[in-house]
Amino acid sequence: MNSVKQKVILNRVEAALATPAQESSFSVYELLILLRALTDHQPALAEQLFLHFWSPSANATPAHPLQAYQLCQGIAIGEYSRNQRFQGLSSADLGQALQLRQRLQTLLDPETSGVLILSEENISQNELLGLQTLWIQNVENLSALAAAAGLDTEEISLQLEMLIHESNHQFWSVDSGPYLLLPSIRGHNTSSSPLQYLPQWANIPDQDHAEDMLIQLRTTTPPWTKPEDTSWVSATTLLIYEGLQHYEMHKAAQELKSYLYRHCYNKQDNRLHTCISLAFA
């Protein structure tokens, strides 16, 4: 990326950082992509962005409606901690994040069903699946961080195991391949969405399900069937790219990267261009 273009992009990021996370024009998926990219390329800005996930308001039990970024503290901490240039988090910080996880668990899954229960009337099934995936990735990161800190992880490990099991049991569609919500799960039906393939990013499907999802991706979704369709140019799709890499589906990952890279430069002045350009810098 040339220096002029990078400066324009970073100026957009700095403007976004001046806005509280709950009021940001960036989606939670875009913020996560930016956090990862900035950790590698602009650590000073990454530290500022980290505060979007680590603020007094984020650590309070969320009121209605739930802010998605509140499900992501563990993901943010994981990104923050992997960069040795940062001073790192104290044990008190990690303890605070683990306590928030327990409060959210009680609030969002009071019956320990393994599926988030949200009160928002207008949330779509795909949006609920996206939040479920974020939550699982969050719990997985916190479990790994707790283990690295020498803390007891039995309870959180059991929670993670249950979340993955119930997601595969209640969200997997035997007939169509990608993750869908069954009629028993609350939420109105929506059309096909990148969120249906997001579970690969959080390592939720087993290898057989992941391979079924790959077939569906290549035969039914715009990046392969309608490559000029830009409806899948999104931060969520970039996370799917990472998910394909998790399952060593490198050829498909590169094909998806090419789709994103080609289209993001056709829309120079938008948030997606900022996210995708930094991610592939």
pLDDT digits (tens, 9 = 90+) for 112-127: 899 888 765 567 778 8
Is the pLDDT confidence value at 16 over 70?
no
pLDDT for the residue numbered 207 = 92
Q: How far apart are the first and last CA of the chain?
A: 6
- Alpha carbons within 13 A on the beta-carbon side of 111: 5
**Residue 189 pLDDT more than 60?**
no
String of DSSP letters for 123-140? -BHHHHHHHHHHHHHHHH
2: pLDDT strictly greater than 70 = no
Burial category of 167 from C-beta neighbours within 10 Å (exposed 0-12, middle 13-18, buried 19 and up): buried
pLDDT tens figures, 41-89: 777 778 777 776 665 444 544 443 456 667 887 888 887 776 655 555 5
Give the residue with greater pLDDT, 280 vs 8: 280
d(CA 275, CA 281): 10
pTM for the model:
0.84
Tokens at residue 75, please? 């993901």
What is the mean pLDDT of the segment spanning 142-170? 92
